[in-house]
Every structure is written in structure tokens, then in C-alpha cells.
Structure 1
Amino acid sequence: MSDDPTEAPAPGTRPGPRARIAILVTAVLLLMGGATGYVLHTGQRPAARGADASFVLEGPALYFRDPATGRIAHRPLPGDADTGATGSPAVSSAAARAPGRPGPPDARVPEGPSCDRFYAAGNTALCLRAEPGVLPKTHAIVLDRQLREVRRVTVPGIPNRARVSASGRMLSWTVFASGDSYATSAFSTRTAILDLRTGYLVTSMEQIPLTIDGARYFAPDVNFWGVTFARDDNRFYATVSSKGRTYLVEGNTEEWSARALRENAECPSLSPDNTRIAFKKKVSEDPAAPWRPYVLDLGTMRETPLAETRSVDDQAAWLDDATLAYALPGADGRASDIWTVPADGGGSPRLSVPGGSSPTALH
């Protein structure tokens, strides 16, 4: 029998030492090559099922979920000449000049990922995708601007809220662990925070040291939801509920602490200039229409009711420092529509995207 490593041993014979070494080295190289190929493949693949490879996140544009398809679409940002009568916003001058942007004002391009909740900022997008079942799951899928998957976290529950900090570094998502509406007391949430720079993941915020009325607060029914991040990627705001009350809290990721600022404020959304918070305030005990949108000035702590008088069960998104966008139940059989309203309490609501939810503006 030859010890030539290039010669295969005859059936029923045992390979010599050199042959055994050669076989081992070859197997290791094959495994390394296969693993390298897998890493390269998964690092470059689009994250979204059915997403068009040419669909990338770029502004200026309004991105949103198309309820009819479940996929992310985009269209020009609403301009100052927006007319609520037709529901077709005018193309802003910047969007009109941008090459490759949709031409007609009401055009939409539904070629993005399939998501149940969506948000994007900086160079990062967050897509929450539901997996139904006896025990439903949510896939929190982190994407880059080319919609390539960066990271995926799977948690039990139903998708509810999604946010990304302005830099794209910090992400947060909320899922319903049970129940399906904030209008009832029979719900439980789980809210996570992910730092993409360090890779550190907080799977549930319930253990954060919480201060209410100047004292440490402890209760078994504490729920957090609706995180919104400041520009420094450290300060954040969120909703906390306990014993039938809701609070707006200000938190700090470095010190890992949170304190209540005021009562009766849910689903906060920090303005781009970081001076105001849009939120929904409970104004009625009617479970069908309990909330109205407000804006809180963080400098004076004065709140302003917005011109939208319908009940808004959404975490509003700032399109700019003057305009808010949010979803309402849709008309004409649509699941939902996106409306806009001035953030100063003036003006009137305008239909921006018939058939849309999860609005987010990229500039």
C-alpha cells in the first residue's frame, strides 16, 4: 500500500500516517472554505423576503408600510402645498430635483421588505416581522441602507413599536406579550434596546431602576413601550405603565436609569431638534376613542393639543421639526391611512398616504 497522500487507499485497507494527515488537512480546508462562503453569502444577502435588490433607502422620501402588500414602499415627502382634499401630497422641491425619485405625487414603489412595523434613520432600518402561531413570534431584523441584514433577534410576542436613533446606532422595539390593545388593561409588553456599536442587547427594560415622584419604584406590573432616542444616543424617552397609570419617563442608557417626568403620556416621539415630544394623551374612558395627540415642550413642560381630534393609537413620526405623521384606521376598506398635522397645534389634519402605516422620513 502506498503512503502517497494523493493516492486513495484501496477499499478495506487502512490509510497510512501521511494519507491520514492529508485527508484531515483536506477536510479542514473544505470546512473552512464552506464556512467562509456561508459568511460572505449571509453578509451580503438582502434581508427581506421578496425585496427588489434595487430597492435601497435614500431620501428625500417618505417610507411606509403598504398594508395591502405588507411590504415597505416609498413616495415623495409631503410639501407645503399639500392638499388634504385629494389625499395626494405635492412633491417637495428637493424630491422633485432628486434623480430617480417617483414622478407622480401619488406614486409609490412597494419593492421593499415585508414588515409588520418599520422605521429607519441614519444608515439603519428596523423591520419587525410577525410569525403567527400558537405562540406568536416577532423577528426584529436590522438592515443597512441597501436592505442587507445586519442582525436578527427573535422574541415571543406580536410586533408593536419600532424606533431607530438619528445616527442609526440605537434601536428599540416593543412587542405585545399578551392582549392586543393599549385601550385595555389586559396587556403586557416587552421592550428591547439594541446598541449596534457595542452589540449589547437589553431584551427587556423592566429591570431598569425607575424613579417616580422622586423615589425608587417597584411593582410587578411595570410595562415599558414606545422608546424614542435623543441625538446623543444616550438619552431616551419611553412610556411606563403601572397600576392603571401611564408616565412619560426620561432614561439614560449609560447610567441605566429612568425617571418619570409627567403622568398620562404614551408613545413619545422626540422632535428632530430634540426640544419637543409628540405623544398621545388619554382624554376619554371610551375604549373606542381614548386618546388625542399632543406635543410637549421639554423646556417649559407646556403641552399643546394638535388639530387632530380623532383618537390616534400610534407612535407619531416627525417628518421635520414642524410636521407629524401618524396612522389612522383607513377609509374605503383600507386597513390604515397616513395623516399629517402641524406640530404647533394649528392647521388641520391632511391625508398624506391612503393605505399606509409606519411612516418614516429620510432626508
Structure 2
Amino acid sequence: MSRPTPRVWALLAVVTVAIGVGTAVGVTEYRRAAAQDAAADPVAATDLASVSGVPHLVFRSTAPGDQYGLVALVPLDDPSGPRAFTDVECDRVAAGATATACLRTIRGVATRFEAELLDAQWQTTETWPLPGVPSRTRLSSDQTLLATTSFVTGHSYTTTGFTTQTIVHDLTSGDSFDIEEFTLVVDGEEVAPVDRNLWGVTFADDDTFYATAQSQSLGHTWLVRGSLSERTVETIQDGGACPSISPDGTRIGFKVQTSNDPVHWEIGILDLRDGSQRVLTGETRSFDDQIAWLDDDTVMYGLPRADEPGVTDVWSIDLAEDASPVLLVPQAWSPQVVGG
């Protein structure tokens, strides 16, 4: 796996000093308060083996209590039902039939960040440090490629001057690629802005991926198509972020900014077959997430609860014109379908 550069470690030190003690105290106090409320709103549990053997959803549980932050599973045919808990704690999770990737914050006086790779039995196969706050992660459909994105500076894509690092790991060969170093092609012309950032990878196959590229100095955020073999990323659309490819490979779901004051993000769908796109008007709430696909005609995404800090829910919406959002998995975040 790749090792962060000295520049990245220097930036990490700034982030660590800024958030280390505060986040440790904040999370500890949240868990203490949440545990007091857990008895009033219990989450029914089931055994892990019974759920992992059928098509299921993998996600980060945000239910208050001792299991807050743990990776959990629910059957695909009963997503709001009893959940099976692992002992793996993650901020972001990407899962497949043979591997799971977990990005986490390890809080303390010197807060640090870590990626972990686990096998089908939830046993650790590898861990390595991340240069900053976990943001996004995705596995390819065959679990041979893994993308990880961290905030090296800043905690949000709306923060002025944020910096990200996105690495694609080839889990078969052991090679890794910092896609920020790839040649960026905008409207057929190579450009090299010093402030470019790339994030939100989704894999189409063992070479092609889609992602977000941004240059604040140029004033653009693009959806891009990348090639690992050619070391290039090429813009396919001006505007949009955090793409996610459908299971059948024909469409990309992404978030599109529809207003600036306040900032409002909606769900966009790009059809790769004819280039047409539209916004799912049934979901009117703003969201800041990389959507996932429940099936070829349904997307899912996380939204925070306004009245319960730290608690999020996973919602879904069909691509039909008249569809409305549905609460899919309460008290959950970062969902992935496995075996569906």
C-alpha cells in the first residue's frame, strides 16, 4: 500500500492538533448520553451468521448506545428489521462478498486515522495509516480494487481551501495509485492546476473508474472518467460530485448543487448510454453523501436527523418520475449491498 508523503504528514499534524482532544471528549460524552437513551429505543439484534449467508446490507450503525459506530448487517428483504453486529468500528465502510474496507478515526490526545481491510469472516488482513479524516471509500465489484479518500486539511467539501488525498489500491498486485498525480484532461486539453483535488471514486471495471475533480482556482468541479492503465482522468461533465455507478453499469448517480445560498445538493442521474441526465425531484432535502445503489432502479443515501446529533438514517428513492423517498434503514450510514 502507498505511504503518505512528508508533505501529507506535515498537513496531518495540523489536522491532528486541531481536532485531537476535542473529538475525543465529544465522542465520549455523546456515547455516554446515547447509552442512557438506548434502553428507551433499543435496536433488535440477530446473529451474524444468519444474515451474512443471505443477500444483505452492510452499514455503519448510528443507533445510540454501546454499538454506535459498529458495522452492522440486515437482510436485504428486511432492511429495517433486526441487525447483526460485528465488532468492527468504522466511519466509512465499503463491503463485498469477499472483502470489507473500513476507514476509521482513532481518537485520543494524538488522534490518528486508519484503513483496515477484512476478509469474509471479518478478520483483519491488513491495516495502514490514513493522512487525514476519513471521507469516502469504495470497492470494485470483484473486490480487487479499493479507493480511499481522506481530508488532509479541512473537514468538508464546502470548506474553502480543503485538500484531499485519494488512493486506489490494487489488492491483487499490491500496487497503489495517487490519482491526483494522473493527467487531468478538461474538454480535450491537458491542464495541471496546483490546487486540484480528486475524490468520490466508483469503479466501472478493473481499469475504468469515475470520480470528482475540482480546482478552486479554475472555478470548476467536474465528473471525470479515469483509467488506471493510462494514468489519466478526463472530464465528462462540468458540475456534480461523488459519482456512483449502477450495478448494470449504465447510469451514474451523483450529487448536484442546485443552489448556493444556502448550499443545496440534490440527486442527479447521468445515463452513460446517451448522455442524458435529470434530477430526482422527489427528494427535496439537501444531502452530502456518496449515494449507493440498492438495485438498478433505486439509489440510497444517508441523511442526518436534525433533532438527534450523531444519528443518521439511510433513505432510498426509486428512479421513477413520481417516486418519493422511503426510510430504508433507520439509524444507519454508509450502506452497501452484498449478494443482492
TM-score of the superposed pair, with normalisation by structure 1: 0.74
Taking only aligned residues, the RMSD between alpha carbons, in angstroms, comes to: 2.1
**Which residue of 246, 265, 271 maps to 1:291?**
265
Give 1:132 shift: 3.4
Letter in 1 for 2:312: S
Give 1:136 shift: 4.4
Q: Is the 8 Å Cα contact of residues 331 and 337 (structure 1) preserved in structure 2?
A: no
Q: Is the 8 Å Cα contact of residues 48 and 84 (structure 2) preserved in structure 1?
A: no
Letter in 1 for 2:126: R
Partners of 2:277 and 2:200 in 1: how far apart? 19
**Which residue of 215, 220, 230 maps to 1:242?**
215
Letter in 1 for 2:236: L
Q: Deviations over 1:57-86 (max 9, x none)?
A: 4431111101231101111225xxxxxxxx
Q: Specify the alignment match of 2:28 in structure 1.
A: none
Partners of 1:215 and 1:161 in 2: how far apart? 28
Matched, 1:264 2:239: yes
**Which residue of 329, 332, 335 maps to 1:356?**
332
Q: Which structure has the greater CA radius of gyration?
A: 1
Q: Specify the alignment match of 1:221 in structure 2.
A: 195
**Structure 1 runs of 4+ off > 6 angstroms?**
none
Aligned counterparts, 1:55-94, within 5 A: 57-67=52-62, 68=64, 69-77=68-76, 91=78
Partners of 1:242 and 1:135 in 2: how far apart? 31
Distance 1:331 1:210, change over 3 A: same
Partners of 1:53 and 1:199 in 2: how far apart? 34
Partners of 2:110 and 2:253 in 1: how far apart? 33
Partners of 1:134 and 1:114 in 2: how far apart? 19
Distance 1:235 1:297, change over 3 A: same
Give 1:269 shift: 0.2
Give 1:146 shift: 0.8
Partners of 2:311 and 2:97 in 1: how far apart? 29
Q: Specify the alignment match of 1:25 in structure 2.
A: none
Letter in 1 for 2:330: P
Instruction: Identify the range of structure 1 (57-66 vs 237-246) with the bigger mean alpha-carbon deviation.
Output: 57-66
Instruction: Identify the range of structure 1 (250-259 vs 166-175) with the bigger mean alpha-carbon deviation.
Output: 250-259
Aligned counterparts, 1:299-318, within 5 A: 299-306=273-280, 307-318=282-293
SS at match of 1:113: strand
Distance 1:77 1:133, change over 3 A: same
Give 1:131 shift: 2.3
SS at match of 1:206: helix
Distance 1:215 1:152, change over 3 A: same
Letter in 2 for 1:140: A
Q: Specify the alignment match of 2:119 in structure 1.
A: 144
Partners of 2:332 and 2:201 in 1: how far apart? 22
Aligned counterparts, 1:104-183, within 5 A: 106-132=81-107, 136-183=111-158
Q: Deviations over 1:125-180 (max 9, x none)?
A: 10001123576432111111111222222122001101000001000010111111
Q: Deviations over 1:22-46 (max 9, x none)?
A: xxxxxxxxxxxxxxxxxxxxxxxxx
Q: Is the 8 Å Cα contact of residues 224 and 236 (structure 2) preserved in structure 1?
A: yes
Matched, 1:274 2:242: no
**Gapped regions of structure 2 (runs ≥ 5):** 1-45
TM-score of the superposed pair, with normalisation by structure 2: 0.79
Aligned counterparts, 1:19-38, within 5 A: none
Distance 1:212 1:295, change over 3 A: same
Instruction: Identify the range of structure 1 (269-278 vs 60-69) with the bigger mean alpha-carbon deviation.
Output: 60-69
SS at match of 1:111: strand
The alignment covers a number of residue pairs equal to: 285
Letter in 2 for 1:180: H
Partners of 1:345 and 1:155 in 2: how far apart? 41
Partners of 1:135 and 1:181 in 2: how far apart? 21
Q: Deviations over 1:228-284 (max 9, x none)?
A: 001x31100000000231100001111221100011110000000001000000111
Partners of 2:221 and 2:206 in 1: how far apart? 24
Partners of 1:273 and 1:119 in 2: how far apart? 18
Where is the strand percentage greater, Structure 1 or Structure 2? 2
Partners of 1:339 and 1:185 in 2: how far apart? 29
Q: Is the 8 Å Cα contact of residues 47 and 84 (structure 2) preserved in structure 1?
A: no
Instruction: Identify the range of structure 1 (207-216 vs 337-346) with the bigger mean alpha-carbon deviation.
Output: 337-346
Give 1:331 shift: 5.2
Give 1:343 shift: 2.7
Letter in 1 for 2:206: D
